[in-house]
Every structure is written in structure tokens, then in C-alpha cells.
């Protein structure tokens, strides 16, 4: 029986009068890559942003239902605490421009005023930059500003920054859609390695990407969960007709 | 989240501060004008006698002085402001020297008022004196006209900076429609650009006016400091701002001071209203913030 | 006929536009011509001589101007930043719009009226003129400038930077204080330099607050001289020596204002953080 780390239960969400997600029920499996897929506007980004309670920051945002992390409702936690357990990487790489590469990795600590000894800081920086395969490329320029890297490198830096907090889940919202093909493949390989230690949920509109790396797939259409299951099954023998049409490129 | 709550509370102080400040300024001006308001009521605006010795204070000479200098300087400056804005936003919109030109006009706006006064005193007053001599008038050099001339130069950048932005905003396809109908550039400017941009241009002119009304140092140095009602623009005079500057430290008695403060209150209110109207127009019709 | 009108109009526009530069060049030319001859070491280091005598300098005014600006900054910068952050936080709400208008109104108050206010609030209470009342008046002019430029700079920080910070479990207040503000330092400093440039030339608010002082004064409770103030009284005085000094003061003032402007443009490029 697979180990479930996150449970989304009877979940609705939207903005003002617009209902974006209807009756979502998903259980995310630990240490696997789960992909949320679907055409533009289907609600997958809204869903992922609910998991770390970033959705609430939007104007007129509302939600109904429950999301449990390791059995505990995320809505009963302080958002700040939750977001250290559930990290997020965004579509556009966003390293802090006023911080160096070194400081960017440690941003979660520095900005929160957590004091660390120099050796501890060095260790965290090296360890996490190695996890994202960036260490060799930047170890001599750690004191450059975070924006002095290429797009792909910046995105890996953002992942390292998030991993430095040792989150249980890593959320990625279309992390490669603004990157070139080479960087995309690098990030995909990275995610496959990382899943051993962290659960990964990725939103992607790129069907081939999902087929390359996802272990589980949730197909969302017009705010509803159409189908959810193991990736191999969904890609080879989807049960739902809409899923099949989407995967074969008839729309989306 | 107590950190964020504390933050929000401290930030809110910033809001309370500015509201409190503005209210306090208005209340202070009003309370200190009150002795004068109570004493002279409407005569303050109609009497031309300003006599500290007999404690009779009528502000008409200064109101006239302010109106004359503001109106004349505005009329003189408008053609220049419009020319500057047409130059950089229409005729030579994309030329590199327009950017240099704009910087130079900004410099004009950045020169301190007292330096305009210095220059006006040594450069403009001799010119006016020569004109006065030609017209067989008392060759004071300093006069309402001198102040108006100096003022007109100072306020050019205000109208031109607004006007140049709104002229840039006129949609290209509207202008092209004009050209395609055979209109010359002059006609497109007159019949397409100006009508489209007119509220913005008007707001810019209001801003120049607001500036002219409140301008003190340059005016004080070249207007001649007379408390008589000026009979013509070649005579010395005073504006509301300049009489305050000239007499405040020498004010004799509570009523004198109170009258000067009442003048300050009037100035405060007039510039407030004009700037408010100008801002409202800018917000409503042009969608960008100044 | 139509073409004639068109050409004539264009010519007139160009003529008038270029003519507006004439006063600028005239002012700068006259300041340099008349001011250069006055500037020497004595001018910078000694105090004014009594009227009628030759020589002397404007040390008291130079120090006075620097002190006035310093204390005005001490008052205006913290409160200006606070107000600016307020305007930023409420920028999408009605209260933010209204208070932005309040700040605009304050910015538009004629500086002589600001002088009256400082006089009534401080000079009258203290019973005498002082450096601090002059600085206070200048700070009332300075504050709205800082508030508005702070608000505009903060607005330019893209929301994805804020999201990145929040997603790391950083609280909102820390995000503003430790991510957004540091990223805005270039624009904020620019606003400060702009304000300093502006208040260094202000005279009207000082006429009955700082008042002027023929001697060097470092005491904030005593009156103090300043460059713009000297220009004012020296120009209107009948003494040739003083009038010459007025041009010298003007030259120093113009150089200070230009230097600050130059610093501003230089640092704006260096400190501006690209997104």
C-alpha cells in the first residue's frame, strides 16, 4: 500500500463568484512525482497554490474543504510554518536580486532571522547546490548576485533555496516553461533524483514532460478531477474519454 | 501573526501622520487668522488700506498684485510651455536632442527661486527700467511687470511637463487618420492633438498657475514691495506671498501678524483647490499619476 | 497657403521652444561670470565682514545650509519612509488614494506658508529663531517627496519576488522589510537625493525660522544662516561687496544642486536592481 503524505478532500476553490475547482479528491503519494495536468485555465495552478496556502493571498479568493498534510489540516497551521514544510518553485525563476547566490540559498534562514554559524551556512549552501547540480558551476562565484546566472541556473538556484529548508513536499508550477530545452531536461533529471528524499508535485501543460517524469498523474478539466492514477496507466489506457482526447492532442 | 500585526500598526501610523499633519496645518492657520478674520471680515478683501500703525488691514493691493502677476505670467508662459511640449512630443519626438532638451528644461525647473530672484534683479530690472524710461514712467526697475516676467520663465516647465506627456498619449492612428485626409501637421495638431489632450493641457496650466500663486522669493526680490494698490503693471507692488515674506518678521502687534497669517491661509486654500482640481483632471482623463 | 501656415507654425514652435533655453543659459552664464571672481579660499573659510567692508566669506552660510539639510533629513527620512510604505500597502484601496492626495496637497503648500507653520509651532513656543525650526520647516517640504518616491519605487517590485519570499515561509512583514525594501534602496535613495536638492535652495521657509546669523552657529537652538538666505539679503542690500558675495553663494548653490543631481543619475544606474 503506497504511503500517502497529502490528502485533498472534497475541495472547492475560486475567486469571488468564479468557482475554479470543484470537488477535488486526491491523495498524493510520498516520494513520488505527481503531475497535475490539463488545458489552460483548468484550475491546476489554483490547486497547487492551495496546497501551500498561497491561494489565499489573491483578492476575493475562497476555498472550501480540507487538505491534510501527514494527517494534520493545513488550515489549522500557521501559513508561515506550512510553507517551510511545503516549498514552491515558480514558473519564472525568481532569485532575490539583492542577495548573492550564497545568500539566496540561505534566504529562508537569513530573512527569517535564524542565526547560523559560518560552517553551518557553508554546509547548507554546498549541500543544496550539489543537490541541484549547480555547485560545480557556481562555487567560484558564490558572491555574485543571484541574477547573474542563466535562466536554467536561476531556476536550479530557486530549487536549492527551497530545498535548504528541508521541505516534505516540493511544489513546482510549470518550472520549465520559461526555459530552453537543455535546461528543461536538466531540471527534469534533477527532479527524478530528488524524489528519493522529497515528494514532488508538478503542474505542467507539457504532456511529454509529464510522460517522462511523472509517477502519478491527475488530469483536471474545467475545475474537476477527471482522472487520477499511475502515469503508465493514464498514458496508455486512460479510462475517461476527455483524458484520452487531451492526451492525444485534440485540445489544450 | 504578531510580527505582521505589529508591522501593520506601525505602518498605519504613517497614514495617521499625514492626515494629522495636514489637519493641524489648516487648524493652526485658521486659529491664528481668527483675530484678523473677526476684526475685518469681508473688508479684508476689499479694502486697499494696509496700515500697521492704525491697525487697518485690507489685502486688496496684494490680491490684485497676485492676480496680475499670476495672470500675466501664465499668459506669457503658455505659448512657451506648449511650444516646448510640441517640440519634444510631436515634432522631434524621437530625436536624440529632444532628450537633452528635456533635461535642460528640467534644469530650468530645478533652479532655486532665490537664484531666479538674483538674476531677475540684476538682469531683468535694468531692462524694465529702460522701458519705463522710454515711457516716461518712474524708473524703478522693480515692478509688477518685472515679477511677472521672471515668474513666467519659472512656471514654463510645469505646464510643459504635463502637456508633453498627454500629447505623447494621443493615439497614432488618430493622427494618421488626419494625415490620410490630407491635413498638414499644423492642422493635425490643432484639430486632433489639442482637442484630445486638452484636459491634460488644462491641468498642466493649472499646475503652473498653482506654482505662480505660491511663488515667493523671486517675486519678492523684483516686485518692489509697495503696499499701495498698483495702478499699472509698471508700478511696484506686492503679492500675497511677498508681503508675508517682507513683513512677517517686522509685524507690529497681534492684528498685524494675524492679518499676515490670514493671507497665508488664503494662499494655502487657493493653491490647495487649484492643485486638487489639476490632480483630479489628470487622474480622470489621462490614467497616469504625477 | 496651408503649407505656409504649417511651416510658419513649426518655425514658431521651434523658435519659442529654443527661446526658453535662453534664460537658463543666461542665468548659468551670469552666475559663473560674477561668481567665479568671488570664489577664493577666504570665501569658503571666513565669516561675513560688516557691510561696506571688502573681503570676508560665507562659511556660516555653508555650514548653516549643511546643518539645516542634515537635521531636516533626520526628521523627514524616517517619517517619509513610513508614510511611503503606508501609501504602498494601501495602494489598491480607497484610503490609499485619499492619502496619496493628502500627500500631494502637502507637497503643494507654498513654502512661505510652511514657514508660517514652523514659526507658529516652534519659534513662537521657543521664543526665538532657531536652526531646528528651520530644519523642521524644510522637513515638511522634504517628507512628501520621500513618501511619494518610496511608494513609486516599492510599486515597481514585481509580485513574483514577494511570492518567492512568502513561499519560503517568510512572513509578510519580513518580506517587506527584508526583501522589498532592500531591493528598493536605489529608488528610495534617489528620492532622498531629489529632496535634498530641492530643500537646499529653499529660502522662504527659513525667513522667520532659521532667520539668519552673521556668525557661525552650530547650536540647533540658535538662528543660523544659509546660502539661499544670504543670496536674498545680499541681493537687496546696497553694498557692493555683499552683492558680489550673493553671486558667489549662487555659484556654490548651483554646484551643490548639480552635484547632487549628478550623484543621483550615477547611483541610479549602479543601485538600480534589475528584474
Q: Is B78 on the interface with C (CB under 8 A)?
A: no
Residue B183's pLDDT band (cuts 50, 70, 90): confident
Q: Is C177 on the interface with A (CB under 8 A)?
A: no
- Which of chain C's residues have a Cβ under 8 Å away from the Cβ of B105? 20-21
What pLDDT is stored for residue A61 in this prediction?
92
| Closest by Cα among C117, C243, C17 to B85 | C17
| Closest by Cα among A223, A225, A187 to A206 | A187
The widest CA-to-CA distance across chain B, in whole angstroms, is 79
Taking the C-alpha atoms of residue C215 and residue C70, their distance in angstroms, rounded to an integer, is 19
Percent of chain B exceeding pLDDT 70 equals: 97
Q: What is the CATH number of the domain that holds A14?
A: 3.40.50.300
Nearest CB partner across the interface for A90, out of C160, C171, C182? C160
C-alpha cell at C107: 507637497
C-alpha cell at C1: 497657403
Bridge partners, B224 (sequence order): B237
- Side by side, which strands form the sheet with A199-203? A72-73, A61-69, A4-15, A18-29, A224-230, A216-221, A33-37, A199-203, A169-173, A86-89
Q: Is C253 on the interface with B (CB under 8 A)?
A: yes
What pLDDT is stored for residue B238 in this prediction?
94
Report yes or no on C10 lying in a domain: no
Residue B290 has pLDDT above 50, yes or no: no
Taking the C-alpha atoms of residue B179 and residue B175, their distance in angstroms, rounded to an integer, is 6
Q: Which chains form contacts with chain B, at 3 or more CB pairs under 8 Å?
A: C
**Structural domain count, chain A:** 1
Q: Is B34 on the interface with C (CB under 8 A)?
A: no
Nearest CB partner across the interface for C204, out of B7, B245, B275? B245
Q: Using the 8-state DSSP alphabet, how is residue C90 labeled? A: T
Taking the C-alpha atoms of residue B229 and residue B239, their distance in angstroms, rounded to an integer, is 11
Domain of C124? 57-271
- Contact across the interface for C201 and B112, Cβ inside 8 Å: yes
Say if CB B169 and CB B197 are below 8 A apart. Answer: yes
- Contact across the interface for B184 and C3, Cβ inside 8 Å: yes
**Structural domain count, chain C:** 1
Tell me whether residue C26 is exposed, middle or buried, using C-beta atoms within 10 angstroms of its C-beta: 0 to 12, 13 to 18, 19 or more: middle
Average of per-residue pLDDT values in chain C: 92
CB pairs under 8 A between A and C: 72
- Contact across the interface for C167 and A87, Cβ inside 8 Å: yes
- Which of chain B's residues have a Cβ under 8 Å away from the Cβ of C30? 119, 122-123
Residue C273's pLDDT band (cuts 50, 70, 90): low
**Quick one: average pLDDT of C133-148?**
96
Say if CB C203 and CB C228 are below 8 A apart. Answer: yes
- Contact across the interface for C163 and A97, Cβ inside 8 Å: no
Residue C1 has pLDDT above 80, yes or no: no
Q: What is the DSSP string of C122-138?
A: IIHHHTS--HHHHHHHH
Q: Which chains form contacts with chain A, at 3 or more CB pairs under 8 Å?
A: C
> Structure pTM?
0.87
| Closest by Cα among C157, C143, C75, C154 to C104 | C143
pLDDT tens by residue, B192-213: 899 888 888 999 999 999 999 9
Which residue's entry shows cell 509517477? A215
Q: Is B91 on the interface with C (CB under 8 A)?
A: yes
Which residue's entry shows cell 560665507? C58
pLDDT tens by residue, A175-232: 999 899 999 999 999 999 999 999 999 999 899 999 999 999 999 999 999 999 999 9
- Which of chain B's residues have a Cβ under 8 Å away from the Cβ of C69? none
Say if CB C234 and CB C49 are below 8 A apart. Answer: no
- Contact across the interface for B110 and C261, Cβ inside 8 Å: yes
Q: Is A25 on the interface with C (CB under 8 A)?
A: no
Residue C274 has pLDDT above 70, yes or no: no
Nearest CB partner across the interface for B114, out of C9, C174, C231? C231
CATH code for the part of the protein at B2-286 = 1.10.3720.10
What pLDDT is stored for residue B1 in this prediction?
53
ipTM confidence: 0.92
- Contact across the interface for C110 and B101, Cβ inside 8 Å: no
Q: Is C165 on the interface with A (CB under 8 A)?
A: yes
- Which of chain A's residues have a Cβ under 8 Å away from the Cβ of C170? 80, 107-108, 111-112
Residue B281's pLDDT band (cuts 50, 70, 90): confident
- Contact across the interface for C178 and A81, Cβ inside 8 Å: no
What pLDDT is stored for residue B289 in this prediction?
45
C-alpha distance from A169 to closest chain C C-alpha (Å): 12
- Contact across the interface for C165 and A96, Cβ inside 8 Å: yes
Which residue's entry shows cell 510553507? A83
Residue B11's pLDDT band (cuts 50, 70, 90): very high
Taking the C-alpha atoms of residue A32 and residue B191, their distance in angstroms, rounded to an integer, is 68
Residue C272's pLDDT band (cuts 50, 70, 90): low
Q: Is B99 on the interface with C (CB under 8 A)?
A: no
Nearest CB partner across the interface for C235, out of B6, B28, B221? B221
Q: Is A111 on the interface with C (CB under 8 A)?
A: yes
pLDDT tens by residue, C84-105: 999 999 998 999 999 999 999 9
CA angle B22, B26, B30 (to 5 degrees): 170
| Closest by Cα among B81, B104, B229 to B152 | B81
Residue C187 has pLDDT above 70, yes or no: yes
Q: Is C86 on the interface with B (CB under 8 A)?
A: yes
Taking the C-alpha atoms of residue B190 and residue A76, their distance in angstroms, rounded to an integer, is 65
Taking the C-alpha atoms of residue A148 and residue A198, their distance in angstroms, rounded to an integer, is 28
Q: Is A62 on the interface with C (CB under 8 A)?
A: no
User: 3-state DSSP call for residue A33?
Assistant: strand
- Which of chain C's residues have a Cβ under 8 Å away from the Cβ of B262? none
Report yes or no on C40 lying in a domain: no
- Contact across the interface for C201 and B11, Cβ inside 8 Å: no
- Which of chain C's residues have a Cβ under 8 Å away from the Cβ of A165? 168-169
Say if CB B46 and CB B229 are below 8 A apart. Answer: no
C-alpha distance from A195 to closest chain C C-alpha (Å): 19
Report yes or no on A124 lying in a domain: yes
- Span between the terminal Cα atoms of chain B, in Å: 36
C-alpha cell at B90: 510631436
**Quick one: average pLDDT of B267-275?**
94
Domain of A199? 4-247
User: 3-state DSSP call for residue A240?
Assistant: coil
Domain locations in chain B? 2-286
Compute how many other C-beta atoms are within 10 angstroms of the C-beta atom of residue A191.
24
Q: What is the DSSP string of A35-53?
A: EEE-STTSSHHHHHHHHTT
Say if CB C112 and CB B244 are below 8 A apart. Answer: yes
Q: At what angle do helices B253-286 and B144-168 cross, to 10 degrees?
A: 20
Q: Is C209 on the interface with A (CB under 8 A)?
A: no
Q: What is the CATH number of the domain that holds C243?
A: 1.10.3720.10
Nearest CB partner across the interface for A94, out of C164, C169, C170? C164
Residue of C nearest to B1 (CA): C171
- Contact across the interface for C169 and A80, Cβ inside 8 Å: yes
- Which of chain C's residues have a Cβ under 8 Å away from the Cβ of A83? 166-169
Taking the C-alpha atoms of residue A157 and residue A137, their distance in angstroms, rounded to an integer, is 11
Nearest CB partner across the interface for B14, out of C2, C82, C101? C82
- Which of chain A's residues have a Cβ under 8 Å away from the Cβ of C165? 96, 107, 111
Taking the C-alpha atoms of residue C67 and residue C224, their distance in angstroms, rounded to an integer, is 9
Report yes or no on C48 lying in a domain: no
Q: Is C270 on the interface with A (CB under 8 A)?
A: no
Residue of A nearest to C160 (CA): A94
User: 3-state DSSP call for residue C211?
Assistant: strand
Residue of A nearest to C185 (CA): A98
Bridge partners, A12 (sequence order): A64
Residue C113 has pLDDT above 60, yes or no: yes
pLDDT tens by residue, C9-68: 999 999 999 999 999 999 999 999 999 988 888 888 888 888 878 888 889 999 999 999
C-alpha distance from A244 to closest chain C C-alpha (Å): 34
CB pairs under 8 A between B and C: 231
- Which of chain A's residues have a Cβ under 8 Å away from the Cβ of C174? 111-113
Residue of B nearest to C232 (CA): B114
Whole-number CA gyration radius for chain B: 23
State how far the alpha carbon of C244 is from the alpha carbons of A238, B219, C160, C237, in Å. Answer: 93, 21, 58, 11
Show Cβ contacts of residue B207 under 8 Å, excluding neighbours closer than 6 positions: B158, B159, B162, B275, B278
What pLDDT is stored for residue A13 in this prediction?
95
Tens-level pLDDT at each residue, chain A (252 residues): 578 999 999 999 999 999 999 999 999 999 999 999 999 888 999 999 999 999 988 888 999 999 999 999 999 998 889 999 999 999 989 999 888 999 999 999 988 888 899 999 999 999 999 999 999 999 999 999 888 899 899 999 999 999 999 999 999 999 999 899 999 999 999 999 999 999 999 999 899 999 999 999 999 999 999 999 999 999 998 888 888 888 888 776
Q: Is C201 on the interface with B (CB under 8 A)?
A: yes
In terms of residues, how long is chain A? 252
Scanning chain B, the segments in alpha helix (DSSP H) are: 2-40, 43-46, 60-86, 96-110, 113-119, 125-134, 144-168, 172-180, 185-188, 194-214, 217-222, 240-247, 253-286
Percent of chain C exceeding pLDDT 70 equals: 98
- Which of chain B's residues have a Cβ under 8 Å away from the Cβ of C137? none
What pLDDT is stored for residue B56 in this prediction?
84
Q: Is A58 on the interface with C (CB under 8 A)?
A: no
Output B137-142 pairs: Cβ under 8 A, ≥24 positions apart: B137/B234, B138/B235, B140/B224, B140/B234, B140/B235, B140/B236, B142/B222, B142/B223, B142/B224, B142/B225, B142/B236
| Closest by Cα among B212, B209, B241 to B225 | B241
Report yes or no on C249 lying in a domain: yes
- Which of chain C's residues have a Cβ under 8 Å away from the Cβ of A53? none
**Quick one: average pLDDT of B54-68?**
90
Best residue of B98, B114, B238 to probe chain C, by most C CBs closer than 10 Å:
B114
Q: Is C74 on the interface with B (CB under 8 A)?
A: no
Q: Is C235 on the interface with B (CB under 8 A)?
A: yes
Taking the C-alpha atoms of residue B250 and residue A205, their distance in angstroms, rounded to an integer, is 78
| Closest by Cα among C13, C22, C1 to B91 | C13
Amino acid at each position: 500500500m503506497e504511503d500517502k503524505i497529502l490528502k485533498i478532500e472534497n475541495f472547492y476553490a475560486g475567486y469571488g463568484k468564479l468557482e475554479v475547482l470543484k470537488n477535488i479528491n486526491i491523495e498524493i503519494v510520498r516520494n513520488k512525482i505527481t503531475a497535475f495536468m490539463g488545458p489552460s485555465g483548468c484550475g491546476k495552478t489554483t490547486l497547487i497554490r492551495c496546497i501551500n496556502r498561497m491561494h489565499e493571498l489573491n483578492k476575493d479568493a475562497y476555498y472550501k474543504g480540507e487538505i491534510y498534510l501527514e494527517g494534520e489540516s493545513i488550515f489549522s497551521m500557521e501559513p508561515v510554518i506550512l510553507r517551510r514544510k511545503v516549498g514552491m518553485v515558480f514558473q519564472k525563476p525568481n532569485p532575490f536580486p539583492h542577495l548573492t547566490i550564497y545568500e539566496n540559498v540561505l534566504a529562508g534562514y537569513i530573512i527569517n532571522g535564524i542565526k547560523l554559524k559560518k560552517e553551518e551556512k557553508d554546509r547548507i549552501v554546498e549541500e543544496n547546490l550539489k543537490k541541484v547540480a549547480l555547485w560545480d558551476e557556481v562555487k567560484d562565484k558564490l558572491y555574485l548576485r543571484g541574477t547573474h546566472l542563466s535562466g536554467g541556473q536561476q531556476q536550479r538556484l530557486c530549487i536549492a533555496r527551497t530545498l535548504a529548508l528541508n521541505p516534505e513536499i516540493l511544489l513546482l508550477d510549470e518550472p520549465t516553461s520559461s526555459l530552453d530545452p537543455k535546461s528543461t531536461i536538466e531540471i527534469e533529471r534533477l527532479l527524478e533524483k530528488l524524489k528519493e528524499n522529497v515528494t514532488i508535485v508538478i503542474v505542467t501543460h507539457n504532456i511529454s514532460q509529464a510522460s517522462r517524469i511523472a509517477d502519478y498523474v491527475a488530469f483536471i478539466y474545467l475545475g474537476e478531477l477527471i482522472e487520477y492514477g499511475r502515469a503508465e496507466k493514464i498514458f496508455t489506457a486512460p479510462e475517461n474519454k476527455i483524458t484520452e482526447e487531451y492526451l492525444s492532442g485534440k485540445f489544450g | 501573526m504578531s510580527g505582521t500585526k505589529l508591522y501593520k500598526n506601525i505602518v498605519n501610523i504613517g497614514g495617521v501622520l499625514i492626515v494629522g499633519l495636514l489637519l493641524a496645518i489648516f487648524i493652526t492657520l485658521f486659529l491664528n487668522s481668527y483675530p484678523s478674520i473677526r476684526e475685518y471680515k469681508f473688508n479684508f478683501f476689499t479694502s486697499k488700506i494696509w496700515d500697521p500703525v492704525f491697525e487697518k488691514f485690507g489685502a486688496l493691493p496684494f490680491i490684485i498684485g497676485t492676480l496680475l502677476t499670476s495672470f500675466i505670467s501664465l499668459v506669457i508662459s503658455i505659448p512657451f510651455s506648449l511650444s516646448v511640449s510640441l517640440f519634444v512630443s510631436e515634432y522631434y519626438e524621437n530625436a536624440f536632442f529632444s532628450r537633452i532638451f528635456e533635461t535642460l528644461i528640467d534644469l530650468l525647473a530645478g533652479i532655486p527661486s532665490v537664484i531666479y530672484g538674483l538674476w531677475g534683479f540684476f538682469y531683468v530690472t535694468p531692462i524694465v527700467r529702460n522701458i519705463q524710461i522710454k515711457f516716461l514712467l518712474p524708473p524703478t526697475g522693480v515692478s509688477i511687470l518685472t515679477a511677472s516676467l521672471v515668474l513666467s520663465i519659472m512656471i514654463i516647465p510645469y505646464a510643459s511637463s504635463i502637456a508633453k506627456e498627454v500629447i505623447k498619449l494621443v493615439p497614432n492612428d488618430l493622427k494618421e487618420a488626419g494625415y490620410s485626409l490630407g491635413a498638414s501637421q499644423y492642422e493635425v495638431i490643432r484639430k486632433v492633438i489639442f482637442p484630445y489632450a486638452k484636459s491634460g493641457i488644462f491641468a498642466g496650466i493649472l499646475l503652473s498657475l498653482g506654482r505662480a500663486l505660491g511663488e515667493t522669493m523671486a517675486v519678492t526680490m523684483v516686485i518692489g514691495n509697495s503696499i499701495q494698490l498698483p495702478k499699472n503693471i509698471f508700478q511696484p507692488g506686492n503679492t500675497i506671498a511677498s508681503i508675508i515674506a517682507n513683513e512677517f518678521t517686522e509685524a507690529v502687534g497681534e492684528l498685524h501678524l494675524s492679518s499676515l497669517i490670514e493671507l497665508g491661509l488664503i494662499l494655502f486654500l487657493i493653491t490647495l483647490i487649484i492643485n486638487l482640481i489639476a490632480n483630479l483632471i489628470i487622474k480622470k482623463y489621462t490614467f497616469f499619476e504625477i | 497657403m496651408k503649407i505656409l501656415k504649417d511651416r510658419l507654425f513649426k518655425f514658431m514652435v521651434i523658435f519659442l521652444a529654443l527661446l526658453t533655453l535662453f534664460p537658463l543659459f543666461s542665468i548659468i552664464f551670469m552666475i559663473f561670470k560674477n561668481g567665479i571672481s568671488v570664489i577664493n579660499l577666504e570665501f569658503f573659510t571666513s565669516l561675513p565682514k560688516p557691510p561696506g567692508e571688502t573681503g570676508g566669506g560665507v562659511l556660516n552660510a555653508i555650514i548653516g545650509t549643511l546643518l539645516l539639510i542634515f537635521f531636516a533629513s533626520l526628521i523627514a527620512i524616517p517619517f517619509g519612509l513610513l508614510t511611503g510604505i503606508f501609501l504602498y500597502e494601501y495602494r489598491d484601496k480607497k484610503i490609499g488614494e485619499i492619502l496619496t492626495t493628502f500627500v500631494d496637497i502637502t507637497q503643494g503648500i507654498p513654502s512661505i506658508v510652511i514657514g508660517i507653520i514652523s514659526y507658529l509651532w516652534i519659534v513662537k513656543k521657543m521664543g526665538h529663531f532657531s536652526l531646528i525650526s528651520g530644519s523642521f520647516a524644510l522637513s515638511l517640504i522634504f517628507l512628501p517627496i520621500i513618501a511619494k518616491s518610496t511608494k513609486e519605487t516599492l510599486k515597481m517590485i514585481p509580485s513574483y519576488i514577494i511570492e518567492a519570499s512568502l513561499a519560503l515561509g517568510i512572513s509578510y512583514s519580513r518580506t517587506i522589510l527584508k526583501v522589498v525594501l532592500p531591493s528598493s534602496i536605489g529608488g528610495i535613495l534617489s528620492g532622498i537625493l531629489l529632496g535634498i536638492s530641492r530643500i537646499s535652495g529653499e529660502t522662504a521657509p527659513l525667513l522667520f525660522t532659521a532667520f539668519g546669523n552673521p556668525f557661525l552657529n552650530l547650536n540647533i537652538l540658535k538662528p543660523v544662516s544659509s546660502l539661499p538666505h544670504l543670496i536674498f539679503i545680499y541681493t537687496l542690500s546696497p553694498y557692493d561687496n555683499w552683492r558680489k558675495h550673493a553671486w558667489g553663494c549662487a555659484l556654490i548653490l548651483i554646484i551643490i544642486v548639480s552635484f547632487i543631481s549628478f550623484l543621483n543619475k550615477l547611483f541610479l544606474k549602479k543601485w538600480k536592481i534589475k528584474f
